[in-house]
Amino acid sequence: MSRAGERRDSKTCLACGRQIEWRKKWERSWNEVRYCGQACRRRGIRPEDELLEAAILEHLAGPQGRRGIDPEVVGAAMAEAAGEDVAQWRERSRSAARRLVAKGMATIQQGGREVDPSVARGPMVVRRP
């Protein structure tokens, strides 16, 4: 705890995998905070999201897992198989990768260095930890 009893904890959003920083307005309900915002609360985790996580892990277990994979490629393959728009699956696949990092099952790298998944922008590579 820092000054005046403020907490500086953080959690991971269940839907998007980004960090949720403690805020004064959540002081009384911090234990119940699960999502970073209304959009993530509404969307939640869908069955497709769990399938994306499994597909990413499957690709990481294969021969390409050592070099790493682009989660958007996995999302695009699943979108095409489902006959849906690829653009909609782009952020879903990035969120699935962030959730895997939060679970300790993967790491995200950019430019050859491991980065915080909450702030990663642009092309990313998911690797085994």
pLDDT in tens, 90-127: 888 989 999 999 899 999 998 888 888 877 888 888 99
Better-predicted residue by pLDDT, 5 or 71: 71
Both structure tokens of 3: 């000054």
Can you list the positions of beta strands (E) in the chain?
10-12, 19-21, 107-110, 113-114, 125-127
- Residue 125: closest CA among 102, 104, 106: 106
Percent of the chain with pLDDT over 90: 12
Judged by average pLDDT, the poorest of 6-15, 17-26, 55-64, 116-125 is: 6-15
124 φψ region: left (φ > 0), alpha (ψ -120 to 50), beta (else):
beta
52 vs 7 pLDDT, higher one: 52
Structure tokens at 50: 């769990």
Question: Quick check: 120 and 108 in contact, CB under 8 A?
Answer: yes
CATH 1.10.10.10 fits 47-127, yes or no: yes
| pLDDT for position 8 | 56
Domain chopping of the chain, boundaries: 3-43, 47-127
